[in-house]
Amino acid sequence: MDNWVNEGKTVQITAGAILVPGEVVVTDSILGIVQEGVASGAEAVLAIEGVFRLAKNTSTAIAVGELVDFDTSVPEVSTGITPAAGDVEDFGIAMETVGSAGAFINVKLIPGGGTFA
């Protein structure tokens, strides 16, 4: 196939700041996970598909299968946020049930999903 480019599981961006592996990055209408650390101004690769272990709001219980939000001001996964600039609602699906005290949760990214504030 002459027009095939790649699998579409990653996207390359220019880092606006120092990025570390595993960091969640929200840019325009993309939410992705940094694959390798880079300096500000360098090209970074973000995963936009897959399941990732992400920091979770410790006052929110989340059930498996629930749509989750990302609060960029904290930064952490939660549900039912009142979105502010940069936040993303319904960007992923909880892949496990985690009580309110849990600090991390496994989330499946929804490629192209989410509502960006």
Question: Is the pLDDT reported for residue 15 higher than 90?
Answer: yes
Residue 111: pLDDT band (50, 70, 90) is: confident
The domain 10-116 is placed in CATH, from the list 3.30.70, 1.20.140, 2.40.300, 3.10.450, at 2.40.300
What distance in Å separates the CA atoms of residue 43 and residue 62, rounded to the nearest whole number? Answer: 34
pTM given for the model = 0.91
Higher-confidence residue: 5 or 37? 37
Segment 14-24 shows an average pLDDT of 97
**Opening angle at CA 33, ends 67 and 71, nearest 5:** 50
Q: Would you state the pLDDT for residue 113?
A: 84
Domain positions in the chain: 10-116
What distance in Å separates the CA atoms of residue 62 and residue 77, rounded to the nearest whole number? Answer: 10
Q: Would you state the pLDDT for residue 24?
A: 97
What distance in Å separates the CA atoms of residue 117 and residue 11, rounded to the nearest whole number? Answer: 21
Segment 35-64 shows an average pLDDT of 97
Segment 73-102 shows an average pLDDT of 95
